[in-house]
Amino acid sequence: MSVSPARKIAFDVLRRVEGEGAYASDLLHEALDVRVKPADAALATEITLGVLRWRRLLDFLLDRHLKKPVQRLDLPVALALRIGLYQLRFLERIPARAAVGESVELVKQARKTSAATLVNAVLRRSAEEASIPSAEFVPPALAVVERLAILHSHPAWLVERWFARFGESQTIPLLVANNQRPRLSCALHSPERRAEIFAELESAGMRVEPGLFLKSAFALSGGSPTKTHSFRDGLISIQDEASQAVPLLLGVQPGDRVLDLCAAPGGKTSALARAAGSAGIVIAADRHTHRLRAMRAQLERLHLQNVRLVELDGEQPLPFRAKFDRILVDAPCSGTGTLARHPEIRWRLRPDQLAEFHQLQVRMLRSAIASLAPGGQLVYSTCSIESEENESVVLEALGGDSSIQRVSADELAYTLRPQLVENFDPRSLFSADGGFGTSPANHTDGFFAAAIERGRGAL
């Protein structure tokens, strides 16, 4: 039996994700070029991200039929078992013989022929019980957190901290959302050509749906927008709706001097550049040269010329003499608000890393505050839902500095209101103290943002 292109791509991507620490979304983008048929691309993506999302549950079910845990098997063998079981459990249209047979063939092609019999036997037994709900295999006496961690396929420590903070009523919807396919959200850069753009996307077989709260946002299903003229011509971009909202909180005006301190890959920078206009100056900084190179290509696609790229370490004092009217600090973070989109994060993140991120974020925010002009505003944001990386960072960075203060929820809601769809209440996006927040349970990535302002008489 030969292996289909979709399963071979999924196997190779998963092998690199596990073996090299790469990100599945990047590898899939690289692998799924124009030579790959749309049906194969869809199946490869489904298997890859599905196996990563459900890895803990898959391993729990597989371990019942193994003498040693899946994680102690050779990586190609473990991946073949997970790929096979994922198809048996979650993809009803895949015949069991194909799921089992091609998984065995994957092991053989990986030069692990000695494990072929094991893979075949385990998956055949798994196929026989595939219709039995997974919950029936979990011991009833198991602690609730551990049970949820297995059935919803998350690390127990992460479930435990969310359970303590949010309670069961909010934690379970979050776990469910993290295992669902996220909306493919896009940004519309030329609203005056909305009808033309949507017509092209629909003619390419895609379904267009309105954004949840932003006028500039829309969602797609049924295809890849990157293959359309609208994408290539810079009329649209792929970007989560919550991510689109963050730079809008700054209220950048034409002619403003703007700093994007952690700019790559450039989605938020482009919004800042459009708002600042040709009379404005936008400095986009990042510490990684290769990310800046990729960002330059993105800016060229979008026909944005008022952006200057600078390589620097945002944790250190910034090298700019002039101060900035607007600053965005979209800080490196744990990414726990993006576990549906980047499921591998949940298996890599360690509890102690939250404290490490906190210290890095505080240093970066303090560095940026020093470059904020009198009367200027700064937005600090993350794609994390952890308090250590969000409110705690803002509180520590501000300290007792009387020259800077939080921008209120009412002011931010007023700034954002013109960008919102009709009848959407902007106050629903903010906490009482002015924190912007979205959740995967509400069909976007989980983002946090807070805005601060320097008094006009300061400095």
The CA dihedral of 333, 339, 342, 347, to the nearest 10 degrees, is 80
Question: Can you list the positions of beta strands (E) in 256-348?
Answer: 257-260, 281-286, 307-311, 324-330
- Tell me how far apart the alpha carbons of residues 84 and 285 are, in angstroms, rounded to a whole number: 44
Write the CA distances from 152 to 56, 271, 276, integer angstroms.
8, 36, 44
Q: Could you tell me which of 333, 335, 322, 403 has the C-alpha nearest to residue 364?
A: 333
> What is the secondary structure of 376-417 as a DSSP string?
EEEEEEES---GGGTHHHHHHHHTT-TTEEEPPHHHHHHHHG
Do 177 and 193 meet the contact criterion of CB atoms below 8 Å apart? no
262 assigned to active site: no
| Residue 450: Cβ within 10 Å count | 29
Which among 186, 262, 333, 383 is annotated as catalytic? 383
DSSP-based three-state secondary structure for 291: helix
Q: Could you tell me which of 287, 187, 189 has the C-alpha nearest to residue 238?
A: 187
Q: CA Rg, the chain, in Å?
A: 24
- DSSP run (H or E) holding 108: helix 96-109
Largest CA distance in the chain: 76
First to last CA, the chain: 73
Q: Could you tell me which of 157, 18, 22 has the C-alpha nearest to residue 83?
A: 18
- Tell me how far apart the alpha carbons of residues 383 and 404 are, in angstroms, rounded to a whole number: 24
Catalytic residues: 383
